[in-house]
């Protein structure tokens, strides 16, 4: 087969994917970058687009209180949910790997929330954390007072963090279980002969050997946490618990401020890029390949 | 020594099991509430069943006059099936091309796709909204189906699998006079059944659970998806039992699908693993 024919075949096979990619990803990326430097109310049509340079970003960081709350919330969600769910998943995976009976059943218990609809989970969460809900019933059983989990500005992030941790553990658990299976068992035997106990074997052998997996999970789960949206939109009690995507949605489809909303979206992209770069740089220090 | 080991393992099973059951509790509560009378849901002490098992809650949800769940199911299944089908074909072709055909520019395409993978779909909804509005796809199911057709993870998964298949097979077919189209369709595609099932399950679940896109693009009750249906009940009624019947209706089929395809699902996440 000649080279030309080969090249044509290559592009023909790629073309459906490329077509969707260019129209729905590549072109929107460019458009969205450009829009973030404009002021545009969608209802005013294409003539209404006005180039404003960095004004949107200046306004966001200087004057927009909702944005700042959302940015803070987004960071809070990421730094709370990611470590908690990763540590829990690691312990569970370590136990499930060799140290328990009913391994498949238990794995299923932890995994089902991950494939469940987030809308449905938040719907359940809304009532579990309700004023008369089961969580408050338990609190009262232990002599505490019923708390306003959903409406109080100091507590309203707790239900969201719980759901995100709850729904995310299954994913990390499965990835960790696969990684743990690749740790050669001879290493443990050698450590045992050298007199190491279980705990020190875990910290000295297991943890370093699976550090690439931990790194992968940190990046992936951090990015997922930045994109939290469903929560605030379903629980809907003011903007106290909103994340950045909620601001994008509200500005774009509530106010039709497409330019402004785009700049919020690009703050989110910036955050994702920054975290990924920092983690890639940091991994040299603690990831053992 | 051996009894000690069994005791230890049993002890571990018990405490990990407690956590496992805690994980099921919210879902059990959901199903229990969906079968109760509204006044029984927050009663102390908790009982799994109320006085009577009220299937009427499901009747209300499934035959509601605005958003009957039978129609939401139909809509969600249709969107997920069409989207998944196209995603599978498109990813398979692209995967084959990237793994088995040599041509200039392929690496560049690959790198560009990789870079844009970092940008979340949430940042693209505004231009997509404008585009769909201009193409008059706003308010139709196509606005949900089209974005689900391209999925980097699926392309990756299939590309990796194609790359692992021996080239000898292709050579043999080529000597028999087959071109790339024939080789892909008749020789290679049938060998990728395992990753194709993985792609189908992942794509289907992602489509089924999708919330942001329908929220933006779907306005008519007739076209609502299951996720939108739950939201409808949350906003429009105070009947917790109905809401829980709606939530259960959304989760249960996916869990059943998962139980049947567990093997593929778990493997795919372990090797490539990404959701939405």
Same domain, B243 and B174: yes
> Distance, in angstroms, between B21 CA and closest chain A CA?
7
The answer, yes or no, to whether the previous bond of A210 is cis (omega within 30 of 0) is no
Give the domain A58-286 fold: MetI-like fold (1.10.3720)
pLDDT tens-digit series, residues B50-77: 888 889 999 999 999 999 999 999 999 9
pLDDT band at B19; cut points 50, 70, 90? very high
Averages of pLDDT over each 10 residues, chain A, 289 residues:
84 95 94 94 89 92 91 94 96 90 90 92 92 90 87 87 93 89 84 83 88 87 90 74 91 93 95 86 72
Average pLDDT of the residues in B166-170: 86
B254 touches chain A (CB under 8 A): yes
Phi-psi region of B37 (alpha: psi -120 to 50; beta: other; left: phi over 0): beta
* Buried-exposed string A40-72: b where 16+ CB fall within 10 A, e elsewhere: bebeeeeeebeebeebbbeebeeebebbebbbe
> Distance, in angstroms, between B56 CA and closest chain A CA?
19
B275 touches chain A (CB under 8 A): yes
What is residue B271's predicted lDDT score, i.e. its pLDDT?
A: 64
Asked if ipTM goes beyond 0.90, one says no
Scanning every residue of chain B, which has its alpha carbon at the shortest distance from the alpha carbon of A25? B124
What is d(CA A161, CA A82) in angstroms, rounded to the nearest whole number?
10
Please report whether residue B6 resides in a domain. yes
Is residue B110 within 8 Å of residue B98, measured between CB atoms? Answer: yes
Question: CB-CB: which of B44, B102, B116 is closest to A26?
Answer: B116
pLDDT tens-digit series, residues B201-236: 888 888 999 999 999 999 999 999 999 999 999 988
What is residue A289's predicted lDDT score, i.e. its pLDDT?
A: 60
Scanning every residue of chain B, which has its alpha carbon at the shortest distance from the alpha carbon of A13? B93
Average pLDDT of the residues in B161-180: 87
Scanning every residue of chain A, which has its alpha carbon at the shortest distance from the alpha carbon of B210? A117
Question: CB-CB: which of B227, B246, B255 is closest to A112?
Answer: B255
B7 touches chain A (CB under 8 A): no
B18 touches chain A (CB under 8 A): no
A110 touches chain B (CB under 8 A): yes
Is residue B40 within 8 Å of residue B240, measured between CB atoms? Answer: no
B188 touches chain A (CB under 8 A): no
Please report whether residue B41 resides in a domain. yes
**pLDDT of residue B276 exceeding 50:** no
What is residue B114's predicted lDDT score, i.e. its pLDDT?
A: 76
Same domain, B17 and B40: yes
Q: A174 and B240 in contact by Cβ < 8 A?
A: no
Judged by DSSP in three states, A36 sits in coil
Please give the interface size between A and B, counted as residue pairs whose CB atoms are below 8 Å apart: 270
Same domain, B114 and B248: yes
Scanning every residue of chain A, which has its alpha carbon at the shortest distance from the alpha carbon of B104? A7
A10 touches chain B (CB under 8 A): yes
Scanning every residue of chain B, which has its alpha carbon at the shortest distance from the alpha carbon of A3? B103
A277 touches chain B (CB under 8 A): no
Question: CB-CB: which of B93, B101, B119 is closest to A6?
Answer: B101
The CATH code of the domain that includes B103 is 1.10.3720.10
> Distance, in angstroms, between A15 CA and closest chain B CA?
8
Please report whether residue B276 resides in a domain. no
Instruction: Label the pairing between strands A50-51 and A38-39.
Output: antiparallel
- pTM equals 0.89
What is d(CA A289, CA A280) in angstroms, rounded to the nearest whole number?
13
**Domain span holding position B119:** 61-271
What is residue B273's predicted lDDT score, i.e. its pLDDT?
A: 46
B274 touches chain A (CB under 8 A): yes
Same domain, B144 and B127: yes
Q: B98 and A106 in contact by Cβ < 8 A?
A: no
Same domain, B92 and B150: yes
A167 touches chain B (CB under 8 A): no
Q: How many CB atoms lie within 10 A of CB A215?
A: 17
């Amino acid at each position: 087969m000649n080279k030309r024919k080969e090249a044509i075949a290559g592009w023909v096979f790629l073309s459906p994917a490329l077509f969707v990619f260019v129209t729905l990803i590549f072109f929107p990326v460019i458009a969205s970058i450009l829009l973030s430097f404009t002021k545009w109310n969608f209802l005013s049509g294409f003539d209404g687009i006005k180039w404003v340079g960095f004004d949107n970003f200046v306004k966001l960081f200087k004057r927009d209180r909702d944005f700042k709350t959302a940015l803070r919330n987004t960071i809070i969600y990421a730094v709370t949910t990611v470590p908690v769910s990763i540590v829990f998943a690691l312990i569970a995976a370590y136990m499930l790997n060799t140290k328990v009976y009913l391994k498949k059943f238990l794995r299923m218990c932890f995994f089902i929330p991950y494939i469940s609809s987030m809308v449905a989970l938040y719907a359940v969460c809304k009532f579990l954390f309700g004023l008369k809900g089961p969580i408050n019933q338990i609190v009262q059983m232990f002599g505490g007072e019923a708390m306003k989990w959903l409406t109080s500005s100091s507590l309203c992030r707790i239900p969201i963090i719980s759901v995100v941790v709850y729904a995310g553990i299954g994913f990390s658990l499965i990835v960790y279980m696969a990684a743990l299976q690749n740790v050669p068992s001879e290493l443990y035997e050698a450590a045992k002969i050298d007199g190491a106990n279980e705990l020190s074997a875990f910290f000295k052998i297991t943890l370093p050997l699976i550090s690439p997996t931990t790194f992968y999970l940190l990046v992936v789960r951090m990015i997922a946490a930045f994109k939290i949206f469903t929560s605030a939109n379903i629980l809907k009690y003011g903007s106290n618990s909103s994340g950045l995507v909620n601001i994008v949605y509200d500005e774009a489809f509530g106010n039709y401020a497409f330019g402004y909303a785009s700049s919020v979206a690009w703050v989110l992209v910036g955050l994702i890029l920054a975290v990924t770069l920092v983690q890639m740089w940091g991994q040299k220090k603690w990831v053992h390949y | 020594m051996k009894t000690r080991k069994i005791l230890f393992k049993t002890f571990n099973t018990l405490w990990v099991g407690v956590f496992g059951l805690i994980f099921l509790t919210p879902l059990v509560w959901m199903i229990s509430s969906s079968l109760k009378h509204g006044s029984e849901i927050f009663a102390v002490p908790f009982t799994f069943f109320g006085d009577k098992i009220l299937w009427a809650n499901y009747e209300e949800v499934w035959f509601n006059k605005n958003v009957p769940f039978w129609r939401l199911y139909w809509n969600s299944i249709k969107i997920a099936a069409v989207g998944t089908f196209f995603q599978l074909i498109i990813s398979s072709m692209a995967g084959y091309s990237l793994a088995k055909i040599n041509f200039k520019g392929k690496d560049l395409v690959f790198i560009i796709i990789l870079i844009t993978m970092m940008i979340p779909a949430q940042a693209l909804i505004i231009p997509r909204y404008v585009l769909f509005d201009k193409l008059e796809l706003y308010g139709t199911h196509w606005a949900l189906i089209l974005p689900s057709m391209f999925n980097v993870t699926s392309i990756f998964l299939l590309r990796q699998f194609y790359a692992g298949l021996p080239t000898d097979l292709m050579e043999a077919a080529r000597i028999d006079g087959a071109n790339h189209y024939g080789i892909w369709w008749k020789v290679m595609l049938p060998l990728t059944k395992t990753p194709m099932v993985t792609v189908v399950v992942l794509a289907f679940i992602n489509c089924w659970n999708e919330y942001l896109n329908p929220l933006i693009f779907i306005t008519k009750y007739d076209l609502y998806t299951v996720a939108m249906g739950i939201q409808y009940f949350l906003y429009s009624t105070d009947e917790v039992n109905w809401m829980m019947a709606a939530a259960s209706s959304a989760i249960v089929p996916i869990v059943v699908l998962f139980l049947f395809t567990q093997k593929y699902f778990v493997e795919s996440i372990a090797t490539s693993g990404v959701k939405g």
